[in-house]
Amino acid sequence: MRTLRRNVTENRLTISRRRTEKKTSPNKTEKSVQIPVDIIIEILLRLPAKSIATCRCVSKLWISVICRQDFTELFLTRSLHRPQLLFCCKKDGNLFFFSSPQLQNPYENSSAISLKNFSLCYKISRPVNGLICFKRKEMNETVTVICNPSTGHTLSLPKPMKTSIGPSRFFVYEPIQKQFKVLLSYKSDEHQVLTLGTGELSWRIIECSMPHILGMSEICINGVLYYPAINLSSGDYIIVCFDVRSEKFRFITVMEEFIKAAHDGTLINYNGKLASLVSERYCFVDGRSKSIELWVLQDAEKKEWSKHTYVLPAWWQHRIGTLNLRFVGVTRTNEIMLSPCYQTVPFDVYYFNIERKTMMSVAIQGMEAFQGHLVFTYLDHVENVKLLHNMF
């Protein structure tokens, strides 16, 4: 019989193998092999986040290595270079997450890997550095929850100071200070912010000089949250810009020709710039759609937008029919991605190449059990192995 004894020192991992023989003599042989921690880290970096979560349960040795700040940051950095598609299927009030490699050249079918599921959830945010925010029923109360779909860890946030009906929740990230925040927006001039990682989870009141009604889309780009809204005082269409670091609001007045794209389209990150995708059916595309419009904010101060129109291929109507697709975003290789609103069999996602003006489809397998149920698709999802309880 062999047993393993593992110890971690500051710079070196020691693995000892002890052989026990069936003899009356007390003679024992023991050999130790010292492996540098950086080599162990390099090995762990090659594992998916789901496997990392399992390794935490092996021993104190493993959890001490995996919880090191340098390891979690390096794992996230590497994940940024291998982004994934994240699928969220909603069934009977439960959320089921799947992931699939985000292919740089999507020319072949792909399989979705099951991650975790969460019960009694709704109002999901876009993924932010591997984490997601949603609302969930707990003990007959509605709470805001941060979750890691790769590891299954969750963190329930405290009640806000003000409980007006229907505040919008935004989950945002500030890349310079590496801080996650949750913003609650109301129609009044007061909003609430909670910062994770400060040692105390508490809401703070921040002021907004322009009371507004929120729109249906949002996107956080380089530490700035953008969402469409209507100025309650003037009735003007605006885009709200919330600087995550300073927690200050500013506003962009929407020109008349851009109102449809800003308020009825889908806001996206286009090469680091705010942009919007819209069709004749606003934020949806089906077989009747003839073209896609891409609006890009070139200069926020001058309110300058560029408009690009892309005609869909001739086979589009016959292939899509009455199927409803959503805009997912634009990939790093400048392809507009479209995904069905409901799980279908087969489940095909579509890529329109902006430069070549070509459309192609990729079949995603593995979610057939959710046929007919609502599904959300997200681009550029990354795996994050940081423990949520370390984000207090």
What is the reported pLDDT for 297? 92
Express as a percent the part of the chain with pLDDT over 70: 81
What are the structural domains, with CATH classification, of the chain? 2-74 (no CATH), 82-391 (2.120.10.30)
CB 155 within 8 A of CB 148: no
- The larger pLDDT score, comparing residue 323 to residue 115, is at 323
Identify the weakest region by mean pLDDT among 45-49, 61-65, 79-83, 266-270. 61-65
Which of the residue ranges 45-59, 175-189, 353-367, 373-387 would you say has the lowest mean pLDDT? 45-59
Residue 139 scores a pLDDT above 60: yes
What average pLDDT score do residues 117-146 get?
80
Residue 32's pLDDT band (boundaries 50, 70, 90)? low
Return the minimum-mean-pLDDT range out of 24-28, 54-58, 67-71: 24-28
Helix (H, G, I), strand (E, B) or coil at 70: helix
User: Cβ of 237: how many Cβ atoms within 10 Å?
Assistant: 20
pLDDT of residue 335: 94
Check whether 118 has a pLDDT greater than 90. Answer: no
Per mean pLDDT, which range of 165-174, 199-208, 362-371 is the poorest?
Answer: 165-174
Q: Where are the beta strands (DSSP E) in 69-221?
A: 84-91, 94-101, 110-111, 113-118, 121-122, 132-138, 141-147, 154-156, 168-174, 179-185, 190-195, 203-207, 212-214, 219-221
What average pLDDT does range 194-215 have in this prediction? 87
Question: What would the mean pLDDT of 374-385 be, rounded to a whole number?
Answer: 91
Task: Assess whether pLDDT exceeds 60 at residue 165.
Answer: no
> CA separation (Å) from 357 to 108, 282, 334, 354?
19, 21, 11, 5
CA–CA dist 24, 14 (Å, integer): 29
Average pLDDT score, the chain: 82
What is the model's pLDDT at position 28?
53
Average pLDDT over residues 364-387: 90
Q: State percent of the chain over pLDDT 90.
A: 40
Please tell me the pTM assigned to this model. Answer: 0.83
Question: Which residue is associated with the tokens 């959830």?
Answer: 121
Instruction: Give pLDDT, residue 1.
Output: 36
For the chain, the residue count is 392
Question: CA separation (Å) from 204 to 147, 194, 247?
Answer: 22, 6, 11
Confidence band for 7, pLDDT divided at 50, 70 and 90? very low
Query: In this predicted structure, what is the pLDDT of residue 15?
Result: 34
* pLDDT confidence of residue 188: 66
Confidence bin at 59 (pLDDT 50/70/90): low
Residue with tokens 């309110």: 303
pLDDT of residue 197: 82
Per-residue pLDDT band for 10 (boundaries 50, 70, 90) equals: very low
Using the predicted structure, report yes or no on whether residue 168 has a pLDDT greater than 60.
yes
Specify the residue for token string 């505040």: 167
**What is the predicted pLDDT for the residue at 58?**
64
pLDDT at 224 over 90: yes
Mean pLDDT of 101-110: 63
Phi, psi at 127, each rounded to 5°: -65, 140
pLDDT band of residue 23 (cuts 50, 70, 90) is very low
User: What local confidence, expressed as pLDDT, does residue 248 receive?
Assistant: 95
CA distances from 235 to 230, 249, 252 (A): 6, 18, 14
Averaged pLDDT for residues 79-98: 88
Q: With cut-offs at 50, 70 and 90, classify the pLDDT of residue 43.
A: confident
Alpha-carbon torsion (70, 72, 77, 81), positive or negative: positive
Neighbouring residues of 328: CB distance < 8 A, sequence distance ≥ 6: 337, 338, 339, 349, 377, 378, 379
Confidence class of residue 279 from pLDDT cuts 50, 70 and 90? Answer: very high
